[in-house]
A and B are shown apart, each in its own frame.
Chain A
Amino acid sequence: MSTGSVDIQYALIDGIYDVLHGNVSYGGATIPVYKSVPKTPASLYIHIGDVLESEDGTKDEFVYYGTVQIIVVDESAHRASRKQAQGVLGAMRALLKTSVSATFTTGSRTLIVFRHESLVPVTEYADNSIVRTRLIDIYSFIIE
Chain B
Amino acid sequence: MAKLNGTLNAIISGSDRLLHIQNATLNVNVDLPDATTKESAGWAEHINGQRDWGISFDGAYDEEGSGMTPDEILAIIIARTADATIKFTTDGATGAAGWTGNATVQNFSLVGNKETTATFSGSLKGNGALAAIE
- At the interface, yes or no: A124 with Cβ under 8 Å from chain B? no
A32 to B62, CA, bound (A): 38
Please give the number of chain A residues whose Cβ is less than 8 angstroms from any Cβ of chain B in the complex: 13
B21 contacts across to A, CB distance below 8 A: 58-60
Produce 1/0 per residue, B17-29, CB < 8 A to A.
Answer: 0011110100000
A60 touches B20 (CB 8 A): yes
| A100 and B20 contact, Cβ closer than 8 Å, known pairs A59-B7, A63-B60 | no
Interface-facing stretch out of B42-50, B75-83, B103-111, B113-121: B113-121
- The smallest C-beta distance from B69 to any residue of chain A, in angstroms, reads 10
A112 to B62, CA, bound (A): 12
A59 touches B10 (CB 8 A): yes
Contact size class for B?
10 to 19
Those of B8-55 within 8 Å (CB) of chain A: 10, 19-22, 24
Produce 1/0 per residue, A93-125, CB < 8 A to B.
Answer: 000000011000000000011010000000000
A113 to B118, CA, bound (A): 10
A1 contacts across to B, CB distance below 8 A: 62, 64
- At the interface, yes or no: B122 with Cβ under 8 Å from chain A? no
Those of A18-68 within 8 Å (CB) of chain B: 57-61, 63
- At the interface, yes or no: A142 with Cβ under 8 Å from chain B? yes
B59 contacts across to A, CB distance below 8 A: 58-59
B115 touches A60 (CB 8 A): no
Given A113-B115, A113-B116, 16 further pairs, Cβ under 8 A: A1-B62, A1-B64, A57-B60, A58-B19, A58-B62, A59-B7, A59-B10, A59-B21, A59-B22, A59-B59, A60-B65, A61-B62, A63-B60, A63-B117, A101-B115, A113-B117
Chain B residues near A (Cβ < 8 Å): 7, 10, 19-22, 24, 59-60, 62, 64-65, 114-117
Question: 10 shortest A-B CB distances, which residue pairs?
Answer: A115-B115, A58-B20, A58-B60, A58-B22, A59-B21, A58-B59, A59-B7, A113-B115, A60-B19, A142-B117
